[in-house]
Every structure is written in structure tokens, then in C-alpha cells.
Amino acid sequence: MLKRINWNAIFTGFAWLISLAGVVVLLSFINVKKQTVKCTDVKILIPGADNFIEREEIDAILKQDQGVLLGRNIEKINIHQIEKKLRSNPYIGFAKVYIDMDGVMHIEVKQRQPILRIMNANGQDFYIDNDGLKMPISSNFTANVLVATGNITEVFGSRVDTLHTQLARDLYKTALYIKRDTLWDNQIEQIDVNTKNDMVLIPRVGDETIILGNADSLDVKMRNLKVFYHRALPQVIARRYKTINIKYSNQVVCERRDSLELARKAKTISAADSVRLHQKVSDSLINNVIGDFVEAKALADGPPKPEPKKVEVKKPEPKKVEAKKPEVKKPTAPKPEVKKEKVALVAKPKVTKPEDKKTKTTIVSKPKKTEAELKSSREKEIRSLEKQYKTQQN
């Protein structure tokens, strides 16, 4: 009778019953703990290098939706409502919120990753993320991604939305392929859509353009282009091709540049020229900075004070006086009566000769004569002239 009883099943059921009872007791304790534990801190984790959303913005969202969280009982905090509010932000792709038994709220936020920036024909500007959803431009951060311009009719509404046109889906597919390949991610910097709705790739290095067409057989087209870059392009003259067309399957069609365009090709700058240009630019910048500093210092110090003029005292040099010879006027015809002519005579000043080169020369002037002495000297001179005249006539 006892052998027919299945003791294993009884023990298994008893274990499950005890486990269920333990879970119920634990949940009851947790519920009681929730009624007593309060929120002590809020920790926000935003992984990634992009900063489309900041911690301050998340704090503002929490305060607007739940009010002040610190000091509130954790049972009164609606965690699911917080997650829903955070996920509605256009820059947040995923949000996880939980509270531990110490009252610390943990918020993990995953930002959306843009891979393409579109500037459509209407002037709108928006991103496309790696999930193929549109997202707006942020004023906090600008992502370094591929840019698409030209004849694009895809528009962006007021909320996060999927892509509506086939051209936008082709752009997203091409951008995703370029992002995953290291070579094309470094080489291709722009996608332009021409009037024929063909996608044209603009390389970062080189003057040629690559006509891609649509995103059909994208892997085959890009593989053919890679083969062309590795084999054909290094063997031709630089800047020889104007366009490289890979829109046709298993073909690479190139268009050459004309001779006039090659003649107008810009002159290449050597390494020495670039160093000289760099040195000139740096010198001019340094001179401008020094000039600005000097002007600022001059304005701060005020107008310069005039310096006193130095007066140099020159030693008087001795003047050389040349003695004039007395001029004697001869009469034109002899007359019996001789008129006395007054002749002004200039006396020679006596100049003392310098005894030595180092000694200064001095001029000694005669003492002034009286009027009587002057008259007597003049009469003597006149008489001597009359005697000379008579002797000449005899």
C-alpha cells in the first residue's frame, strides 16, 4: 500500500508550496517597506558620446510630471508613468526606471543615434536615426554624420515618424551601408540628389563625383567602386575624371575632363610653400597681438608726458674780422683848388694770436676815443693824402 504512494511528487508539490508562501511573505514585507522608505536620491545614467539631452532636461521632465521626488514615499511614485514620459522625448530611444530598497531612484536613458542629416528642398533640416525614424535637430549638440541635400521631398512633422518616400528610404539604406564600412565612412561626406532623383556621392578626397542612382544592388555597386579605386584610379593622372557612374549593374562608366578644365587646374602647393605660408600667417597674428597689447597699454597709461628739452650751451667761437683797406677816390681832372674829401677809415682791430691750440682765442678791442682825438686823427690823415697827391702831380 505504501509502495504505491509517489513520494517524489509529494515532495515537489510541498517545495513549490513553501516557495509560493515565501514569495507572498516577501512581497508583503516589500509592501510594508514601501510605505516607510522615502526617495533619498535620483541617479541618471546617459551612456554614449552624443549629448542631445542633458541631465537638467531629464530633471525638468521629472519635476513637471511627478513634482518633487526627494523625500516622497516610493509607493507614491509612478515608475511606469515616468518611463512613458521619458520615451516620448524625440531624442530618447529607451528609458528604464527602478528604485532600490535604500530609496535611490535609478534612471537609465539611451539616446537615439542619427546616421543621416537631411536638408530637403523646402528648407527643412532633420535627422534620420539608425532605426529609420526621423528626429529633430538639437540646439545642444550637432552630430557629425553624413549630409543629404538636393531634390528631396521628404518632410518632417512635429513628432517622430517613419519615412514616407522611396527616395528617403534609399537615402537611409545608403547612409546605413556607408556607416558600417570604415573606408566609405571616411571617404564619402555628402549625398546630393540631382533633378533625375539620382543619388550622387561627394567624396572627401578628390574632385570627381560618383553617380550612385538608387539603392538597388547597393552592395554590388559599392564593391565595384572599391575595385576601381584600388586598381584603376592610382594608375591615371590625378583629377582626370569628372564623374564615375556606377548606377548600372556590373559597370563603372567614367567621364573624362576636357583639356581646358585640366589647363585651369589649380597649382599644387609644395610642402615648403605651405610652411612659408603658415609662418607668414603666424607672424602676422603675433604682430597683431603685440600691436593690440601696446595700444591697450598706451590707453591704460594715458597720454605720454612731454620730456624736457635739453639745452646745450655752445662755447662762443672767436669771429675773424677782416680789415677793409681805405678806398681813395682819384679826381677826374686836375684843378687849382683842391677840395678836401672826407674819407672814412676803418681801423684794424688787433686780434691776439692764440699761444697754444688748447687756449681760447680772445679779441681785444681798442678803448673808445674822444671827439677831439677823432678830429685830430682825421685832419692828419687828410694832410698826408694831400701831400701824396701833390707829389704825384709834380
Q: pLDDT digit string (tens) for 54-82?
A: 888 888 888 888 888 888 888 788 888 99
Sheet holding 92-99, edge to edge: 41-45, 104-111, 92-99
pLDDT at 291: 67
The secondary element (H helix, E strand) that includes residue 174 is helix 166-180
- Residue 40 makes CB contacts below 8 A (sequence gap 6+) with 70, 102, 103, 104
Q: Which of 194, 218, 192 lies closest to 203, judged by CA?
A: 192
At 379 the pLDDT is 78
- Tell me which range, 37-41, 306-310, 353-357, is most confidently predicted by mean pLDDT: 37-41
158 vs 314 pLDDT, higher one: 158
Report the distance separating Cα 207 and Cα 205, nearest Å. Answer: 7
Q: Return the pLDDT at 283.
A: 67
User: Hey, what's the cell of 127?
Assistant: 535627422
pLDDT at 192: 94
pLDDT average, residue stretch 119-136: 91
User: Does residue 371 register a pLDDT over 80?
Assistant: no
Question: What are the tens digits of pLDDT across the range 311-339?
Answer: 454 555 545 444 444 444 444 444 444 44
The verdict on domain 114-260 having CATH code 3.40.1000 is no
* Residue found under cell 535620483: 42
Quote the pLDDT of residue 303: 56
Q: What is the pLDDT of residue 344?
A: 41
Give pLDDT, residue 15: 83
Query: What's the gap between Cα 372 and its chain centre?
Result: 99
More confident site: 243 or 158: 243
Q: Is the pLDDT of residue 87 over 80?
A: yes
Handedness of CA 264, 266, 270, 272 (dihedral sign): positive
Q: Within the chain, what is the greatest distance between any pair of CA atoms?
A: 207
Average pLDDT, the chain: 75
pLDDT tens digits, one per residue of 177-219: 999 999 899 989 999 999 999 999 999 887 888 999 999 989 9
DSSP annotation string for 245-312: E--STT--EEEEPPHHHHHTPPPPPPHHHHHHHHHHHHHHHHHHHHHHHHHHHHHHH-SPPPPPPPPP
Mean per-residue pLDDT for 159-188? Answer: 91
Q: Where in the chain is the domain with CATH 3.10.20.310?
A: 30-111
- According to CATH, the superfamily of the domain at 30-111 is membrane protein fhac (3.10.20.310)
SS3 content of the chain, % helix, strand, coil (to 5): 40, 20, 45
CA 29 centroid distance within chain: 62
Which pLDDT band, with edges at 50, 70 and 90, does 277 fall under? Answer: low
CA 312 to chain centre: 56
Q: What is the pLDDT of residue 211?
A: 93
User: Are residues 342 and 378 in contact, defined by beta-carbon separation less than 8 angstroms?
Assistant: yes
209, three cell numbers: 563625383
pTM of the shown model: 0.57
- Whether the predicted pLDDT of 166 surpasses 90: yes
Q: What percent of the chain is predicted at pLDDT more than 90?
A: 22
Model pLDDT, residue 358: 43
352 or 277, which is more confident: 277
Helix axes 218-231, 166-180, angle to 10 degrees: 50
Distance CA 207, CA 284 (A): 32
Query: What would the 3-class secondary structure string for 54-105 be?
Result: CHHHHHHHHHHHHCCCCCCEHHHCCHHHHHHHHHCCCCEEEEEEEECCCCEE
